[in-house]
Amino acid sequence: MIFLVTGAGGFIGFHLSKALLARGETVIGIDNLNDYYSPLLKQARCDKLKISKNFVFYQADITDISALENIVQNHPDIQIIFNLAAQAGVRYSLENPFAYIQTNVMGQVTILEMARQLPKLQRIFYASSSSVYGLNKKLPFTEQDRVDRPSSVYAASKQSGELLSFTYHHLYGLKQTGLRFFTVYGPWGRPDMAYYIFAKAITEDKQITLYTGQNLSRDFTYINDVIGALLSLLECSVLEDYGIFNIGNSRQEKVEHLVACLEENLGKKAIINYISRPGTDIEATLSDISAIYNATGWVPQTKLSDGIHRFTSWFKLCNGLFG
């Protein structure tokens, strides 16, 4: 099959592309390799993918209509789109809200318009986020929960993407599946994520910041489990024409436990500074994954302690290589 993967130089896009190439599929990758975090890391991921003769790469922005039209002309037989390109990060959305609207809203529309031109397209899978659950207090989060109270511009942009996708399904019959990711971590991960920032600070004997609160916790989801979920959805023969799935570990782990796992694997104690939690950050996340289990039988396999061990093994080898 022929796949288009946007954000191929990103964390999830890289691992998904690698898995698809290992199956013998053809992957058309798009990434603008921007400098939100180290372009060297993004380029290193792409270089690994370029080893395969079945990988074709375009350095382009998903909001660039002419670039996407060129891809359609060169690859009219694209069958599946994984739209994983995004402006990520909750805190950065306070500094640069325009970047989130441009990439996560305008970019979604541009990809949807591109999809309408592909005669053999079967389905679009697109990245959403657990952040859409916003100010919800009930745990675990289910796909039926209200998502109209976002706590950040990032969350609002992701919910906007979901609404646009449903609209294009309604108007044009595009089959689409939304993916609400819960705190994905692992080797080749994003340096702006807390686990990566903590690992770097602990290694360098620098202070890390934790938020106060009795229930500061996350549903940490290991990257290999995420890819397993995506492949299970890809192979599922009973997907509805439009739907949304939580992609999480369905385990609630205190952030302090994450720090303890990092300390154990790095062999150093963290220097911790506690501050009040900002309003943009959700206190706790926990996924209900019964919907994807019922559809595909997928269940995550990786405990946080095991996943952090694998991450730190990679981190020790690669820390400092990408700026």
- Phi, psi for residue 162 in degrees, rounded to 5: -65, -45
Identify any residues that bridge with 287 across adjacent strands, giving them in sequence order.
141
C-alpha distances in angstroms, 128 versus 45, 176, 193, 247? Answer: 22, 12, 17, 10
Of 225, 217, 195, 163, whose CA–CA distance to 314 is shortest? Answer: 195
Residue 273: which residues within 8 A CB-CB, separation 6 or more? Answer: 207, 208, 209, 210
Q: Which residue has the tokens 């796909």?
A: 143
Which residue, among 85, 51, 56, 82, has the nearest Cα to 71 in the 3D structure? 56
Q: What's at 183, amino acid-wise?
A: T
Catalogue the E-assigned strands of the chain: 2-6, 26-31, 55-59, 80-83, 123-129, 176-181, 184-185, 207-211, 217-218, 221-222, 242-247, 253-254, 271-275
- CA 163, CA 61: separation in Å to the nearest integer? 22
252 close to 104: Cβ distance less than 8 angstroms: no
Q: What's the DSSP call for residue 81? A: E
- Is residue 154 annotated as a catalytic residue, yes or no? yes
In contact, 166 and 241? CB cutoff 8 Å: no
Which is catalytic among the residues 58, 100, 133, 154?
154
Neighbours of 65 (CB within 10 A): 14
Give the integer Cα–Cα distance in Å for 86 and 103.
6
Catalytic residues, which ones?
Answer: 154
